[in-house]
Amino acid sequence: MTSDTIAAPRTPAPSRRRGSNLEKWGWIYMRASGVLLVVLIFGHLFINLVAGEGVRQIDFAFVAGKYATPFWQWWDVIMLWLALIHGANGMRTIVNDYVMHAGTRRVLVWALWLAAAFLILLGTLVVFTFDPCLGVTPGSELAALCTA
């Protein structure tokens, strides 16, 4: 039997390598994060687009209000981390499946993790350091509120 032939049913599994199995944990992560993302993404869409005045309520004040609330800060940050790691790991699977050249594969997978890490860092900083009064100039719409 060559290695690309599917084994007969009930063939005993070949002996496993010892140690942690990163691919298995990656597979479990995709399922677990998928379940959490359903709740986080649909909750996010409901609150932003359906509840209250719906899509018309979204403006600077709406976003500033959400980022002044630890609950929504954490909601968005957890969604950001889970989705970016999920997306990058899913793309890694696709790259591993389709890119035949080992060097190209390594470069692409590195690029994926670097892009994900950069966006996670940037997004987390934005959510936790957001200040609606930053850069407000006298006479602007927010000046009265911010200097009060």
Q: Which window, 11-19, 31-39, 52-60, 136-144, contacts ligand HEM (CB under 6 A)? A: 31-39
Choosing from 21, 25, 32, 34, the residue that interacts with ligand HEM (CB under 6 A) is 34
Of residues 64 and 91, the one with the C-beta less far from ligand HEM: 91
Choosing from 67, 75, 80, 83, the residue that interacts with ligand HEM (CB under 6 A) is 83
**With binding defined as CB under 6 A, does residue 94 bind ligand HEM?**
yes
Rounded to a whole number of angstroms, the minimum distance from the CB of residue 49 to ligand HEM is 15
Q: Encode burial over 68-81: b for 16+ CB neighbours within 10 A, e otherwise.
A: eeeebbebbbebbb
CA angle (24 as vertex; 19, 26 as ends), nearest 5: 115
Which DSSP string do the residues of 83-117 spell out, in sequence order?
Answer: HHHHHHHHHHHHHHHH---HHHHHHHHHHHHHHHH
**With binding defined as CB under 6 A, does residue 91 bind ligand HEM?**
yes
Q: Cα-atom radius of gyration of the chain, to the nearest Å?
A: 23
Q: What's the burial of 64, exposed, middle or buried (CB within 10 Å: 0-12/13-18/19+)?
A: middle
Q: Give the x-and-dash track for 40-69 against ligand HEM (CB under 6 A).
A: -x----------------------------
What residue ranges bind ligand HEM (CB under 6 A)? 30-31, 34, 37-38, 41, 83, 86-87, 90-91, 93-94
